[in-house]
Amino acid sequence: MRMAAGEPSREKLPSAAWAATIPVAAGLATGILFVLIFSVYATGSQDARPRDREITWYNDNGEIACGQPIEIVKARAPFAVPLPTALPAGYSLQYADYSGVKEVFMEFYNSTICGGDGPKSLHDGTIEIRIDPFSERIAGTNAAERIDGSQYTEGRFQTLQNAGSIDARKYAFSDGNRHAVGYNAGTGTSVAVDENNVTIHAEQYDYPSSLWVVDDEKDIIYRLEAHMPIDELARIAESMK
């Protein structure tokens, strides 16, 4: 049995659910985890994402990128696909993909990630962005139970705060249509216990900053992850219009 403390697990979860494990607040039984299921996409991995190197295209900087050309991604996705305009110096779109589970995945980096030294990961400095339809995946089809971005982000913020060890933040962007919530990068502890709940192994790991943004006008939710301050991720997210 594997449990984690300090931050949502980075292990891959079933694609039918977007889940995050959050440690309980100090004072409760050590090692107990809350599992929050928001019915969207699986928690991302910090391992480099496998890429189809057979498909290459040129991004706006004239660099070779891989995956699907962003124009094709936008045409296939049945929802808006905003792109960030306020990226760190030298960063550009290096990988894009639209999957059959209605998710857009994009990766930004300061050099090509196709060929050369091979795929890059969050630890290498990439910025990952995932976009999903909000009402369909999060808010639900029952109008009486539907929530908006403000309600969603407030609920997640309270959950993160209750975890105790996570530096949670929330934002309301100037356009009034988008609300965001997330946490700063940090260090957690992964603990393995036996059937008697005796710790047999423990190790620390670092996790990236994560930010969820709900755009009520476009009816989408997007998640940004990177090893950079959460305020910087918020600045990037606000530029996605």
With beta carbons less than 8 A apart as the criterion, state whether 136 and 145 touch.
no
With beta carbons less than 8 A apart as the criterion, state whether 54 and 83 touch.
no
Asked if residue 195 belongs to a domain, the reply is yes
Measured between alpha carbons, how far is residue 181 from residues 64, 82, 119, 171 in Å? 33, 18, 28, 6
pLDDT value at 67 more than 80: yes
Q: Which residues contact 183 (CB under 8 A, 6 or more apart)?
A: 7, 160, 166, 167, 168, 169, 209, 210, 230
> Considering the entire predicted model, what is its pTM?
0.74
Q: pLDDT by residue (tens digit) across 138-153?
A: 655 555 567 889 999 9
pLDDT value at 83 more than 50: yes
Asked if residue 10 belongs to a domain, the reply is no
Asked if residue 23 belongs to a domain, the reply is no
Asked if residue 83 belongs to a domain, the reply is yes
Q: pLDDT by residue (tens digit) across 151-205?
A: 999 999 999 989 877 899 999 999 999 999 999 999 888 889 989 888 898 898 8
With beta carbons less than 8 A apart as the criterion, state whether 94 and 63 touch.
yes
Size (the chain), residues: 241
Asked if residue 41 belongs to a domain, the reply is no
For the chain, the domain total comes to 1
| Angstrom distance (rounded) from CA 215 to CA 224 | 14
Asked if residue 7 belongs to a domain, the reply is no
Tokens 């984690």 belong to which residue? Answer: 4
Q: Which amino acid is residue 33, in one-letter code?
A: L
Asked if residue 37 belongs to a domain, the reply is no
Structural domain including 74 reads 48-238
> In this predicted structure, what is the pLDDT of residue 112?
84
Asked if residue 190 belongs to a domain, the reply is yes
| Angstrom distance (rounded) from CA 223 to CA 131 | 7
Q: pLDDT by residue (tens digit) across 12-49?
A: 222 222 333 333 333 323 232 223 323 333 334 444 44
Q: What is the mean pLDDT of the chain?
A: 77
